């Protein structure tokens, strides 16, 4: 993932990502996958599982497989301008991408063996909606908690593609193990949010700004329950980074920064990242991610 220039504005594509969490004796951990180095989007970077929406995600027959009604899902997402069918489809996108990229299946009664069976059907070339029909899946969208919404800036320094991505939180179901698919993702790992940021700071892994800011947010929580309770207490904030150049450096500012058009801070942690030392950093250094 190299930063060479700003990419011009392009069409915004709907997408969804799942921030997969687990509790350990050492505290909260998050699952990260490494994008294939040849990927058009964030190649070589560690990200949360996710991807762009597919038209099949919003099919009526998929909505019938959900354990919550589209109206309920629409209300939880907190986007009044979005119709119920599209809102429900975004939850399906999140579950589908999590399954395709990690093998974790959020469905009623799905244990490790069942998830492996479903993954086998994917490897045979079946689409997710086909697998859902063949196995009569009841999809547990209730396991997803809307957390935030990120829209790529019109002038992005990270990717030539723009996305309107809904971030969901979810605990990994008991009896299932997350892994990478060896196709879109080549490596994966569980880390505490602080440890992931430490590895980034030590140049052991690459992270994109949304992951940096999200991990900074997660580092303030000690358990899955704490994260989900905080997310469930408010509507998902809309994060639209605003880039500018300052003294020869590229800067991304976030809501609450004095240069941002939105004065109210939407996320804990720093309100801007600057591209320095060939990476994005908080202005005041590593510890500013946790202050």
* Integer Cα distance of 163 and 52 in angstroms: 8
* Integer Cα distance of 197 and 201 in angstroms: 6
Q: With respect to residue 278, please indicate whether it lies within any of the assigned structural domains.
A: yes
* Integer Cα distance of 105 and 132 in angstroms: 11
Q: What is the pLDDT of residue 36?
A: 65
Q: What is the pLDDT of residue 4?
A: 46
Task: Express each pLDDT in 65-77 by its tens digit.
Answer: 999 999 999 999 9
Q: With respect to residue 83, please indicate whether it lies within any of the assigned structural domains.
A: yes
Q: What is the pLDDT of residue 159?
A: 60
What are the structure tokens assigned to 121, written together?
């059907």
Q: How many domains does the chain have?
A: 1
**In the predicted structure, residue 157 carries a pLDDT above the cut 70:** no
Q: What is the pLDDT of residue 35?
A: 81
* Integer Cα distance of 178 and 172 in angstroms: 8
Q: With respect to residue 4, please indicate whether it lies within any of the assigned structural domains.
A: no
Give the global pTM: 0.93
Lowest mean pLDDT among 130-134, 234-238, 247-251: 247-251
**In the predicted structure, residue 169 carries a pLDDT above the cut 50:** yes
* Integer Cα distance of 281 and 250 in angstroms: 11
* Integer Cα distance of 233 and 236 in angstroms: 9
pLDDT band at 44 (very low <50, low <70, confident <90, very high): confident
Q: What is the pLDDT of residue 191?
A: 97
pLDDT band at 6 (very low <50, low <70, confident <90, very high): low
**In the predicted structure, residue 168 carries a pLDDT above the cut 60:** yes
Q: What is the pLDDT of residue 158?
A: 56
Q: What is the pLDDT of residue 39?
A: 54
More confident residue, 153 or 191: 191
Q: Chain centroid to CA 205: how far?
A: 17
Q: With respect to residue 3, please indicate whether it lies within any of the assigned structural domains.
A: no
pLDDT band at 182 (very low <50, low <70, confident <90, very high): confident
Q: What is the pLDDT of residue 43?
A: 59
Q: What is the overall mean pLDDT for the chain? A: 92
Q: With respect to residue 283, please indicate whether it lies within any of the assigned structural domains.
A: yes
Task: Express each pLDDT in 69-128 by its tens digit.
Answer: 999 999 999 999 999 999 999 999 999 999 999 999 999 999 999 999 999 999 999 999
Q: What is the pLDDT of residue 113?
A: 96
Q: What is the pLDDT of residue 175?
A: 94
Q: With respect to residue 2, please indicate whether it lies within any of the assigned structural domains.
A: no
Full residue range of the structural domain in which residue 69 is found: 12-289
Give the length of the chain. Answer: 291
Q: With respect to residue 257, please indicate whether it lies within any of the assigned structural domains.
A: yes
Domain with residue 221: its CATH number is 3.90.79.10
Closest CA to 84 of 98, 70, 72: 70
**In the predicted structure, residue 9 carries a pLDDT above the cut 70:** no
* Integer Cα distance of 213 and 272 in angstroms: 9
Q: With respect to residue 1, please indicate whether it lies within any of the assigned structural domains.
A: no
């Amino acid at each position: 993932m190299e930063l060479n220039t700003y990419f011009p504005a392009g069409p915004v594509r709907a997408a969804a990502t799942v921030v997969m969490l687990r509790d350990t004796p050492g505290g909260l951990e998050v699952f990260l996958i490494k994008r294939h180095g040849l990927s058009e989007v964030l190649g070589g970077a560690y990200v949360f599982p996710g991807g762009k929406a597919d038209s099949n995600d919003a099919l009526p027959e998929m909505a019938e497989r959900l354990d919550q009604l589209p109206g309920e899902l629409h209300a939880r997402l907190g986007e009044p301008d979005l119709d119920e069918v599209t809102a429900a489809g975004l939850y399906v996108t999140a579950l589908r991408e999590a399954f395709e990229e990690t093998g974790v299946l959020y469905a009623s009664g799905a244990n490790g063996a069942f998830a492996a069976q479903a993954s086998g059907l994917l490897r045979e070339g079946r689409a997710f909606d086909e697998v859902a029909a063949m196995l009569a899946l009841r999809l547990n969208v209730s396991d997803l908690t809307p957390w935030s919404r990120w829209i790529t800036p019109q002038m992005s320094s990270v990717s030539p593609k723009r996305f309107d991505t809904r971030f969901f939180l979810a605990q990994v179901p008991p009896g299932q193990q997350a892994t990478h698919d060896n196709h879109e993702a080549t490596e994966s790992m569980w880390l505490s949010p602080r440890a992931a940021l430490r590895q980034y700071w030590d140049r052991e892994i690459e992270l994109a700004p949304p992951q940096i800011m999200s991990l900074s947010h997660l580092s303030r929580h000690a358990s899955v329950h704490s994260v989900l309770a905080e997310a469930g207490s408010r509507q998902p904030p809309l994060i639209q980074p605003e880039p500018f150049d300052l003294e020869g450096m590229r800067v991304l500012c976030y809501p609450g920064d004095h240069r941002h058009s939105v004065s109210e801070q939407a996320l804990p942690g720093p309100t801007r990242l600057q591209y320095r030392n060939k990476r994005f950093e908080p202005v005041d250094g590593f510890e500013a991610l946790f202050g």
